[in-house]
Amino acid sequence: MRRIDARTLKAWIADGQELAILDAREDGEFGKSHLFWANPCALSRAEFRARHLLPRRGVRICCVDGGEGGLAERLAGYLGSIGCTDVAVLDGGTPAWAAAGYVLFSGVNVPSKAFGEWVEHHYETPSVDPAELKAMMEGGTDMVVLDSRPMDEFRRMSIPGAVDVPGGELVYRIGEIAPRPETTIVVNCAGRTRSIMGAESLRRAGLPNKVVALRNGTMGWELAGFACDRGKSASFPRGTPASLDLARQRAQGFAESWGVRVADRAGLAAMLREEGRTTHVLDVRDPEEYLAGHLPGSRMAPGGQLVQGTDNWVAVRGARIVLVDDTGVRARMTGAWLRQLGGWEVFVLEDGLAGPLETGPWVPDCPEAAALSPATVTPAGLAAALEAGTAQVVQLSRSLDFREGALPGALWGVRTRLASLRDRLRPGVQVVLAASEEAMARLAVAEVEGFGLGPVAVLAGGVPAWKAAGLPLQADRRNPADADCIDVYLRPYDRNDGVEAAMREYLSWEIDLVHEVARDGDARFGAVKT
């Protein structure tokens, strides 16, 4: 297996050629310390994640871990098994990177978070603090408060009176939401990045209104002693806005100034056939629109979420990104920011929704799971077995999902790390593996069979089938404990203890990122030319 040292990888990052850096650790472990341009690709989910992160198997790849030994090598071996031909391992992992004098970063979505701080500094994005916003509200200011997060986050906590308008929708929808130029527009998120990016999107689009970001978002609001709303669902008006022509004009100028190009379906087909270049195809519309019909093979990546978390979708430095929407507004706004963030070659697909479309969610290809035929048990059958004491459950849901809905008596575990549960399982009693997707449980069967404790089966249809059958789930916010949630990087409000301190620490971390990025030197925000 090819190994490279930290100096070689540093040179690869700077040489302008395509490169993917994949970290084999679980997301929570990754979030403690990682390379700036690394993408999390945990071994437990590699079969679901690697293929879409690496649409071209010949791309140059470096696998990284935390120096534990073996994780990066196992990921590299898996990548080779799916046809990747240029794979290396960083010798010594992140400790070797630090020992060479290079910077490591904590947190997740770091390139996007750091870019948000750069945008605020570079464009001098104006903001108001929570006390100022509160005074504006009480003074009857003509204004709207627009929350730039997805609806699930908005429901969890929101500024009183706010309307949910995810960042990618802001320029597209603002003509209907705030038609009067006298109306002040306040954009917020949970912290900083999406507040800044949303506000600056409206400013870059040339909106005549006063536009400001809410400094530190809902976290800052609560830290200032004000109460957030819970469970609200006020949202933007659906359908094509009447102000489309103006929105398109605004977005086009911004995109052209940053070198976003246009392609048609024939051009995309030629890109996908081209050897030696990686092309990611992403649909930046609202999720409801994507589910109703999308270009076959495209992935759902709502524009605001894509900009604030590029590493969830794009792993290859130097790749091409083709953005799909119906009118070009959301794709152009997103593309202009992506150009400034990572320098990717970005195209807007003009006729991406012409012709036959797919409906429903994007489902990752996982031939490894499809090839397996383990024993299965229906939800009703499992419920009866649990009642009789003839079955026990290992649930492979994300830890935060397990807290909200665990099968009765289930043990929580992470695939590829299930050995820690062996002593808690009863010998001779069937183990049923339940997961959010049945494919994940199928892949874990051999691991649990290796314990030699007894028969192993898979819950048919996974946890969604159990829910659909109306069977009971248990909620326990402290199971698993915060320290055990290695599969996710806990946000401050995911924690059980020290939430206020975690909020303050998170906000300080975001603000300091711009300085750490400058010290690292591998980001070139805003350096691309038209």
- Summarised one tens digit per residue, pLDDT across range 82-135 is 999 999 999 999 999 999 999 999 999 999 999 999 999 999 999 999 999 999
Report residue 420 CA to chain centroid gap.
28
CB atoms within 10 A of CB 400: 15
Check residue 407 and report its DSSP letter: -
Taking 80 as the threshold, does the pLDDT of residue 530 lie above it? no
pLDDT per position as a tens digit, 405-432:
999 999 999 999 999 999 999 999 999 9
Measured distance CA(252)–CA(258) in Å, rounded: 10
User: pLDDT tens, 291-338?
Assistant: 999 999 999 999 999 999 999 999 999 999 999 999 999 999 999 999
**What pLDDT does 484 receive?**
97
Q: Domains in the chain, ordered, with CATH?
A: 3-106 (3.40.250.10), 114-248 (3.40.250.10), 252-349 (3.40.250.10), 367-484 (3.40.250.10)
User: Which pLDDT does position 68 carry in this prediction?
Assistant: 86
**What residues form DSSP beta bridges with 188?**
147
- Closest by alpha carbon to 12, among 316, 236, 276, 445? 316
Say which residues have a Cβ less than 8 Å from residue 94's Cβ, sequence separation at least 6: 33, 34, 35, 64, 65, 66, 67, 104
Provide the token pair at 255.
Answer: 């995109």
- Of 318, 279, 274, the C-alpha closest to 297 is 279
Q: What is the mean pLDDT of residues 473-501?
A: 96
Phi, psi of 42 (to 5 degrees): -55, 140
Written as six digits, the tokens of 92 are: 């010594």
What is the pLDDT, as a whole number, of residue 529?
56
Q: What is the DSSP letter of 486?
A: T
User: Hey, is 181 helix, strand or coil?
Assistant: coil
Contact 480, 399 (CB under 8 A): yes
Mean pLDDT of 350-370: 94
- Compute the distance between CA of residue 115 and CA of residue 194 in angstroms, rounded to an integer: 11
- Supply the pLDDT for residue 475: 97
- Stated as kind and residue range, the H or E segment containing 4 is strand 3-4
pLDDT band at residue 474 under the 50/70/90 scheme: very high
Residue 241 has pLDDT above 80, yes or no: yes
Average pLDDT over residues 361-370: 95
- Residue-level pLDDT at 503: 95
Strand-by-strand arrangement of the 430-434 sheet: 376-377, 456-459, 430-434, 391-395, 411-412
For residue range 159-200, list pLDDT tens digits in order. Answer: 999 999 999 999 999 999 999 999 999 999 999 999 999 999
Q: What is the pTM of this model?
A: 0.95
pLDDT over 90, % of the chain = 98
Question: How far are the Cα atoms of 394, 442, 466 from residue 372, in angstroms, in the given order?
Answer: 19, 7, 21
pLDDT value at residue 249: 97
> What integer is the mean pLDDT of 354-371?
95
| pLDDT at residue 69, rounded to an integer | 77
Distances from the Cα of 227 to the Cαs of 232, 348, 491, in angstroms?
13, 41, 19
Among candidates 66, 65, 60, 70, which has minimal Cα distance to 16?
A: 60
Retrieve residue 130's tokens: 């929570």
Q: What is the pLDDT of residue 238?
A: 94
| Other beta carbons less than 10 A from residue 399's beta carbon | 23
pLDDT at 528: 77
Residue 156: exposure state from Cβ atoms within 10 A (0-12, 13-18, ≥19): middle
Residue 471 backbone zone (phi > 0: left; psi -120 to 50: alpha; other: beta): beta
The pLDDT > 70 percentage for the chain reads: 100
Average confidence (pLDDT) over 60-71:
94
